[in-house]
Amino acid sequence: MTCQVDFYLLGENAPGAEQLACQLALMAWERMQNVHVITATKSAAEQLDTLMWRYPEGRFLPHAITGNQDSARAPVHIGTPSGLNPTDVVINLCPEAVPEPERFSRILEIVPFAEDERQASREKFRTYRDLGIVPRTNEISK
């Protein structure tokens, strides 16, 4: 399987990484795809879980934290890389590239606007490229 990697570069007036992750997860779910959003820490996963209950506003995004009761039935999972299982779409909010990306059809990387936070994304881009994957970039302004 060939993995498609997309980098979303947040502009100055764009939503935050977590809000964009919610929007991308909703779009994938509406396309009947299973999604796993990975965060660097369990507390970041819990914060994203809280955000998904109310964002995007007026929309319901069925989700669960990996390992919680009934999480197996949710089409959108949130967790750390250690709980990453095969899925259609991975949204990566971690500073490291997704390990063994060939296991997935799509990986979505969100690049923060702040210059000091972009270095990790540059490293991830190089990691994927070194694995023979040609990432695509998408600029997000609003």
pTM over 0.85: yes
Q: What pLDDT does residue 142 have?
A: 67
Q: What pLDDT does residue 1 have?
A: 58
Residues whose CB is less than 8 angstroms from the CB of residue 82 and which lie 6 or more positions away in sequence, other chains included: none
Q: Which residues pair with 89 in a beta bridge?
A: 35, 106
* Rounded Cα distance, 137 and 119, in Å: 15
Q: What pLDDT does residue 115 have?
A: 85
Give me the amino acid identity at 31: R
Q: What pLDDT does residue 136 have?
A: 96
Mean pLDDT by 10 residues, the chain (142 residues): 90 88 95 95 94 88 84 88 89 94 94 88 95 93 74
Q: What pLDDT does residue 2 have?
A: 80
- B/e letters for 56-84, b = 16+ CB within 10 Å, e = fewer, are beeeebebbbbeeeebeebbbbbbbeebb
Q: Which of 39, 40, 11, 6 is nearest to 24 (CA)?
A: 6
